[in-house]
Amino acid sequence: MIFHPGKVIEVFSSGDKSIKSVNTSIQITLEMWDENILTFDISSKLGKTVKNNDIAIVDYSPKSDKLSLPKHEIVKILKGNKGKEMWKKYKEYLKKMKPDKTSNPSPVQVQRPNAYIG
């Protein structure tokens, strides 16, 4: 099983007067730990308690043995220090994995052969 954390940046509920909806489902937009921004369905049980800046744990396991698409199911909401600690660890890991954009390596000079004149 594979799980990815994401920070809640918006909650979309049919109870919000500024949202018109065809049903009572709830969606949340997450900034994923790897800097993607995605919107997911969330169960009404979890959706009623989730707030901006909470950390959602998303199940990325395959839907089945035959279908490798991820489930994208929100399975837990981490609040307070538990969520902050998880987020910090993943973001530190991402920083280690990304190349440092502040260092300016000298550009590689490519010498092109003279054009053919015939």
| Domain definitions of the chain by residue range | 3-97
The CATH class of the 3-97 domain is: mainly beta
Q: How does residue 106 score in pLDDT terms, banded at 50, 70 and 90? A: low
Rounded distance, CA 102 to CA 115, Å? 37
**Residue for token digits 């910090």?**
88
**Residue for token digits 């979890």?**
46
Question: Is the model's pLDDT at 111 over the cut of 70?
Answer: no
CA 28 to each of CA 17, 19, 36, 66, 69: distance values in angstroms, whole numbers, following the listed order:
16, 13, 14, 28, 20
- pTM for the full model? 0.78
Q: What is the mean pLDDT of the chain?
A: 88
Q: According to the model, what pLDDT value does residue 1 have? A: 86
Instruction: Average the pLDDT over 1-29 and give the result.
Output: 92
Which two three-digit tokens encode residue 43?
Answer: 């169960």
